[in-house]
Structure 1
Amino acid sequence: MPYDHERASRIGHVQTALSPAIIEAMERWQTPSLEVGDPTHIKDRITSLESLVMDERPNPTFAIAFDGSNQEVEARPGYPSVRVGYIQIAGVYVDIFKFLGANNSGLVDSRQLERAQITQTVNSVLPGANVFLNGITGRDSWRAEFDRSFAESEITDFGKAFSLTDALMTIHGKPGAPASSLTLSKCPTCGAPDQRVTASGGVCAIPECMEKIYPTDVLRGYEEFTEDGENALTLTRAMNIAERLLLISYIDGFYRVEPRMLSQGIFITDGPLAVYGPAAPMKSKFLDYWSQLCLAMDQRDFAPPLLVGIEKSGRFVDHARVIDRHIPNGHVMMLDTPYVNRYVTNQKPDHYYGKDEFYGRRFIYKTSTGESLVVTVPRVPGGHPYEKPRIDSSGDFIQVPSEQYQFYPTLRATLETLDLMQTHLYPNAVIPVALAHSASSLPLGTGRSVLTLLAQRSLGMPQDSVALSRFKPPRNRQVGR
């Protein structure tokens, strides 16, 4: 690392650029192909949407999409750097009939489109490096504030307030009945296993510890928290799980108040139906909740809701672009595990892909207008969407149940609905996700400066002159008499 104000020589890169060892190393490497040789392996895995069996259900009347945004700002640069993280998530309700009616004359009626949507936004702030509550460490301060943010982030659309903590307890219980307590795999302080905690918190049962524990400790976000550096990854993990729990808040709200309505809705998340990082074990809780929901709906003779995750970026979206021309419009491609391992993730053919994170399976869908969507859809009535590959005596792969279309009876209705709600505002986009992103996004530039200034003022720190110059308070307007 250089000293302050030390600058590199203008020709300091020459030795690296001319090094034979470096050139030889890079010549050994391979990258994903941008061309498809024999497309047979693609054509063997696609089918037309019309060939799929669809469960009996009413036509969807509404869509609810969820997206989130986060930013970590430096309230004080230099050392010790003081950082604060902001999270904003949004759920956007779209009335499908009003949305489709907004384009009845060849032009979109913006007023009709506005009437077709309702937005709910939840935001919170979390401490970062060198920010702490009085008397406790930065790591424990993050735990306490993370728990507080979930307890205070709530919706009231179904009458009684329902928080993200309530949603967390619900996936540990069953539809309409949150668990009274949950079990932490370990105490965050002493590491003692199997600690029970209620929604309001508790203490470690080990007499030598007796430290405070929180229900949100089950997500284990504190494991990636650093007390002296950036926490962008920790913030992203928190945002992603908050998005998924906001979705549960709405699904469970409909189930408690009017379960019949669930059959008429499509619920869309930004990103795959998966949980990554230390919180990945929550995947099994989402799977359990979904299985119980499908069973409960079936017992009432209702179809389950449509649930889908849509990816905007990543290796699967990149791969979809590469093979795009080999998939006809209106066709869907099953991404079986041997295919994923060989052509997308560069793993051994028998690698057990997706076992730890996913509660839905990925598909590539070529829409009626030629756009490509990478979607994740759960099995119905439940079950793991990925299974360990099976190989017969001749060494060929055997198709496992999770790779058969019959276990995804909601797939056709889901893709047909997404087809109706496409937008050319962005490549491969659908309107509900675009609206949710617009409602949740925290802008860079001036927006980031305002958030930095807010953190500096709230923490009593010198205010950044750049942030002050960008932040112009709104002028007072005189209302006409």
Structure 2
Amino acid sequence: MPYPDERASRIGHVQTALSPAILEAMERWNTPALEVGDPSHVTDRVTSLEEIQKDQRPDPTFAIAFDGSNQEVEARPGYPSVRVGYVQIAGVYVDIPRFLNANRSGLVDARELERAQITQTVNSVLPGSNVFLKGITGRDTWRAEFDRSFVESEIDDFGDPFSLTDALMTIHGGPGSPASSLTLSKCPTCKAPNQTVTALGGTCAAPSCLTKLYATDVMRGYEEFTDDGENLLTLTRAMNMAERLLLVSYIDGFYREESRNLSQGIFITDGPLAVYGPAAPMKSQFLEYWSQLCAALETRNIAPPLLVGIEKSGRFVDHARAIQSHIPNGHVMMLDTPYVNQYVVNQELDHYYGRDEFYGRRFIYKTSTGEVLVVTVPRVPGGRPYEKPQRDGNGGFIPVPSEQYASYPTLRATLEVLDRMQTRLYPNAVIPIALAHSASSLPLGTGRSVLTLLAQKGLKMPQDSIGLSQFKPPRYGHRGR
């Protein structure tokens, strides 16, 4: 690392660029193919959407899409740097009939499109490195403030306020019935196992510890927190969990208020139906909640809601673009696990892909207009979307239920709705997610400068030259429409 103000030589890169060892190393490496040689491994796996059985349900009348944005800023650069993280998530309700009627004459009626949507935002600020609550460490400060942000981030669309913590307790309980407590796998401080907490928190049961515990500790975000450095990954994990729990807030709200309305909606998340990092075990709670929801609705003869995750980037999106010329319009591709292992993630064919993170299964769909969507859809009435591949003794694999279209009766209806709500505003995009992204985005440039100044003012630190007298530090859980 250089000293402050030390600059590299203008030709300092030459030795690296000419090094035979570096060139030899790169010649040994392989990268994913950009073109498909033999397309049969793709064409053998695609099916016309019209050939997939469609479950009985009314035409969807509304879509709710969820997206989030985050930024970590330096309130004080240098050492020790002081960092603050901002999170903003949005849910956008779209009236589908009104949205479709906004394009009656070949041109979109912007006023009708505006009337077709309602936006709800939830935002919060989280401490980064070298930010403390009095008397506790930086990591414990993050734990306390993360819990506070979930408690105070709430919606009131269904009557009484319902917070992200309520949603967290709900996926540990059941539809319309939040759990009274949940079990942490370990104490964050002493690692004592099986600690019980309520929505209000708790205390470590180990007599030598007695650490303050929080319901949000179940997501284990503190494990990736660093007291001295960037915490963008920790912030991103928190944002992703907040997005998914905001979705649960709305699904459960409809269930409590009028469950029949659920069969008329499609709920869309940005990104796959999956949980990554230390919070990955939480995918079991989402799976269990979804299974209970489907079972409860079935007893009332109500079709389950359409639930889908849409990916904008990543290696599955890159792979879909590489093979899209071999998928006809209006066709969907089942990505069986051996295919994923061989052509996408470079693993052994019988590797158990998706075991720890997913509560939905990925598909590639080429729309009627030739756009390509990578979507994740859950099984109905529930169950693991990925199973360990089983060899059949002849070099092939035994078909498993999670790779049968019959396990995804909502798939066709889901893709048909997405097909009708495409937009050419961005490549391979659908309107609800584009609206949610617009509502949740924290802009770079001037926007980042404003957030930096907010942090400086809130922490009573020297401010940059641009004044900020007109701004006030943000409140946790601010809600707006």
TM range (shorter): over 0.9
1:404 aligns with 2:404: yes
Shift of 1:464: 1.6
Does the alignment pair 1:267 with 2:267?
yes
Secondary structure of the residue aligned to 1:280 is: helix
1:140 equivalent in structure 2 = 140
CA distance in 2, matches of 1:9, 1:112: 59
Instruction: Provide the residue aligned with 2:478 in structure 1.
Output: none
Task: List structure 1 runs of 4+ shifted beyond 4 angstroms.
Answer: 471-474
| Equivalent-residue separation in structure 2 for 1:2 and 1:61 (angstroms) | 59
> 2:334 and 2:424 mapped to 1: Cα distance?
25
User: For each residue in 1:341-368, what CA deviation from the matched residue of structure 2 results, as whole angstroms up to 9, or x when unmatched?
Assistant: 0000011111100000000000000000
**Distance in 2, Cα, partners of 1:45 & 1:472:** 60
Question: What SS does the aligned partner of 2:53 have?
Answer: coil
Count of residue pairs brought into register by the alignment = 471
Quote the residue 2:417 is aligned against.
Answer: 417
Q: Deviations over 1:31-57 (max 9, x none)?
A: 110110010000110000000001100
Shift in Å at residue 472 of structure 1?
A: 9.5
What is residue 121 of structure 1 aligned with on the other side? 121
Q: Which residue is equivalent to 2:367?
A: 367
CA–CA separation in structure 1 for the residues paired with 2:99 and 2:6: 58
Pairing of 1:183-332 with structure 2 (within 5 A): 183-332=183-332
**Which deviations, in whole Å up to 9, do the C-alpha atoms of 1:456-481 show, x marking residues without a partner?**
0010100022xx17x7969xxxxxxx
Alpha-carbon offset, residue 120 of structure 1: 0.5
Q: Structure 2: where are the runs of 5+ without partners?
A: 472-481
Aligned pairs for 1:449-468 within 5 A: 449-465=449-465, 468=466
- Name the SS of the counterpart of 2:340 in structure 1: helix
CA–CA separation in structure 1 for the residues paired with 2:220 and 2:91? 25
Counterpart of 1:363 in 2: which secondary structure?
A: strand
Letter matched to residue 60 of structure 1:
P
Query: Could you tell me how far 1:8 is from its partner in structure 2?
Result: 1.4
TM-score between the two structures when normalised by the length of structure 1: 0.97
Per-residue displacement from partner, 1:220-273 (whole Å, max 9, x unpaired)? 000000000000000000000000000000000000000000000000000000
Distance in 2 (alpha carbons) for counterparts of 1:208 and 1:280: 29
Q: CA deviation at 1:211?
A: 1.1
Distance 2:370 2:115 in 1: 29
Distance apart, 1:314 and its partner CA: 0.3
1:379 is matched with which residue? 379
Q: Deviation digits for residues 159-197 of structure 1, max 9, x if unmatched? A: 011000000000000000000000000001110000000
SS at match of 1:139: helix
1:154 matches 2:145: no
SS in 1 for 2:165: helix
Q: Is the counterpart of residue 93 in structure 1 residue 78 in structure 2?
A: no
Q: AA paired with 1:280?
A: A
Deviation per residue, 1:108-142 (Å, 9 max, x gap): 00000000000000000000000010000000000
Secondary structure of the 1:397 match is coil
Tell me by how many angstroms 1:3 deviates. 1.2
Task: State the shift of 1:17 in Å.
Answer: 1.1
Q: CA deviation at 1:207?
A: 1.0
| Amino acid across the alignment from 2:210 | M
The answer for unaligned runs of 5 or more in structure 1 is 475-481
Partner secondary structure for residue 364 of structure 2: strand
Cα offset, 1:395, TM superposition = 2.0
Equivalent AA in structure 2 for residue 243 of structure 1: E
2-structure distance, mates of 1:230, 1:464: 21
Hey, what's the Cα distance between the residues in 2 that align with 1:396 and 1:50?
Answer: 28
Distance in 1 of aligned mates of 2:320 and 2:392: 30
SS at match of 1:398: coil
Which residue of structure 1 aligns with residue 35 of structure 2?
35
Q: Distance in 1 between matches of 2:165 and 2:331?
A: 40
The whole-number CA distance in structure 2 between the counterparts of 1:226 and 1:162 is 31
Q: Aligned partner of 1:278: which letter?
A: P
What's 1:479 paired with? none
Partner of 1:58: 58
Find the counterpart in structure 1 of residue 347 from structure 2: 347
Deviations, residues 295-348 of structure 1 (Å, cap 9, x unaligned): 000000000000000000000000000001000000000000000000000111
Query: Quick one: distance in 1 between partners of 2:416 and 2:30?
Result: 38
In the TM superposition, what whole-angstrom CA distance separates every residue of 1:74-114 from its partner, at most 9, and x where no partner exists?
00000000000000000000000000010001110000000
